[in-house]
Amino acid sequence: MSTAGCEETTCQVTEAEARTELDRLLSDQRFHGTERARDILRYLAERYFDGEAGGAKAYSIAIDVLGRTSNFDASNDPIVRIEVSRLRSALSQYYEAYGEAGVTIDIPTGRYVARFARCIHGRDDADEGAEADNEAPADAVPATIAISQGILTVVGSRRRYILSAAATATALLILGSVIAWYSSQPSFTQKPLVMLTMTAADVRLEREAGVTRDYLLASLAQFDTLTLSTQQPARVRQPVRNAYSVELKYYADDDNDRTVWWQVSDAADGDILKSGIERVSMEGKSAEAVKDELVSALSRRLATNRGVINSIEARDAPRNALGNACVLRAEYGLDDGGRQALAEASRCLEQTLARNPSDAEATAALARVTLATDPAVVGDALRMANRAVSLAPTLDRANVALMMAQFYSGRIEAAIDAGNRALALNPNNPDVGAKLGSVLFAGGFYDSAVSLASEAARSPDGTPRDAVLVLALDAYRRGQWSDASLLAEQVNCSDFIVSALRAASLGQLGSAQASVRLADLRSWDPFFEKDFRAHMTTRQYAPAFAASLRDGLAKAGAHFTPDGMAAN
């Protein structure tokens, strides 16, 4: 075998090795590729893994990754060359500084193809003057990912035939193992790509519709749950992220009310996923107030964690998905309060952070899941929440996590400050208002808590759990036992405080069902009478409210000693 052949074999890597290096690189904070550069690298790598070794055209990258329209012209728009050049430079700098004797990734000059090897490739002379639009011939594809294959024989003897067959079988076995290994690996999901358009049904409303659209885009950006694009998402066979088209039409009704019809569709196949209408009355309101009300309703409909798009993302992602889908499911688990859901959320968040330690959303979610699972480890949760805020100071999720960590550590004023920052960053997020309301209620600011909870309860796609809970707690505090019981039953959660409130409300009413709800509470915590004081102290509830709740539980059949400990 020639020296060149030896070098080529030495440079080859398996697909499993290549994917491992890609994941490692993208999760390494020392790799300074931009978000666009990372998306391009993922795109080129996936094309290569799919067998498209010739790489991609500039047109494909512009449409599929960068969100350009179908009339993109590389000769007039150098965006692809610029972004790939940045990616190539970032890869080169990274491996020069931190590269070890392992697999490396590079983008050869003149071609848009990801190249994986165990040895550093030099600059291709043949590519030096090539047009950077993947015009290299097919036979110029570099030797990269490969599986060892049987030796081809020109003159076959029986022995060589057997050896060749054995080598082929071994190669097939290795290939099968690689496929099985990769198929078992969790997928890493990203925030969905959304392109929004708004038109006016009447030309006289075009300016008004345009202003509403601009404010809506600003509001959606504050949620930071979607990746917004001003271009139509391409219909990609294997997109870097899921893409959606949101169409809106602006109307002025006969009675002068303002109405927006909306429709969400899958950008890949055009399927309509959901549509609806938001209507705002102009009676007694300024045009500014009407616009704000429309923007609030639409942004809540589209961008909350239980909104139209994120609900689809959480539902359709693979069960073991990491990244964005994991964060969404963790937030669902926090609302539902199930221990199994929280345990699964904790595992997937830890895996997500192992892949990308700089993921502020995952860090914030893990801080909250940690608190919900075991409030005693508040120190760990506080460190994670502070890190999330340092990674993304303007992220409402990070500030909510900090609020809850400070709250459980007993720093009520600091918690309220963090909650107010989160609300200022995203005033249209009902989850922020509801969670801040729960902190304010525990701190004794009942009127403010109820005001925030009532506002959050207007969310069109389901009232946040904390909003209903605050309203139920306040009804109980005011002695409205029937309202408290009804509201507590509407909370889609069965954690300690919800279970206790259900039993205590029925106990105060003298209902025969109180014993049933008390049994539910006992199944959650068999020793809740003994632990009651600790539960109330951890949740920072005022002594008067805790005493009232204990009284209701006693009427339901619980047995407490005068100091709040369980009776023998």
Domain ranges of the chain: 15-119, 193-313, 427-567
Average pLDDT, the chain: 84
Indicate whether 254 pLDDT > 70. Answer: no
Same fold for the pair 193-313 and 427-567: no
pLDDT, one tens digit per residue, over 473-524 is 999 999 999 999 999 999 988 889 999 999 999 999 999 999 999 999 999 8
Q: 427-567 architecture in CATH? A: Alpha Horseshoe (1.25)
243-252: strand order across its sheet: 227-229, 193-200, 243-252, 258-266, 272-280
End-to-end CA distance of the chain: 85
Q: Interhelix angle for 430-442 vs 465-477, to 10°?
A: 30
Strands 258-266 and 243-252: antiparallel
3-class DSSP assignment, residue 503: helix
Structure tokens at 147: 């599986």
Other CB atoms within 10 A of residue 563 CB: 6
Supply φ then ψ for residue 197, to 5 degrees: -130, 140
Q: Say which CATH architecture domain 15-119 belongs to.
A: Orthogonal Bundle (1.10)
| Residue 392, pLDDT score | 96
Between CA 544 and CA 251 the distance in angstroms is 52
Which fold does the domain 193-313 belong to in CATH?
Double Stranded RNA Binding Domain (3.30.160)
SS3 (DSSP) at 252:
strand
Helix/strand/coil for 53: coil
Residue 561 confidence (pLDDT): 78
CA distance 369 to 346: 7
- Alpha-carbon distances of 67 from 172, 245, 307, rounded to whole Å: 39, 12, 23
Mean pLDDT of 238-253: 85
What are the b/e assignments for 279-317, b being 16+ CB within 10 Å? Answer: ebebeeeeeeebbbbbbbbbbbbbbbbbbbbbbbbbeeb
Give the pLDDT confidence score for residue 560 in this predicted structure: 92
* Stretch 293-300: mean pLDDT: 96
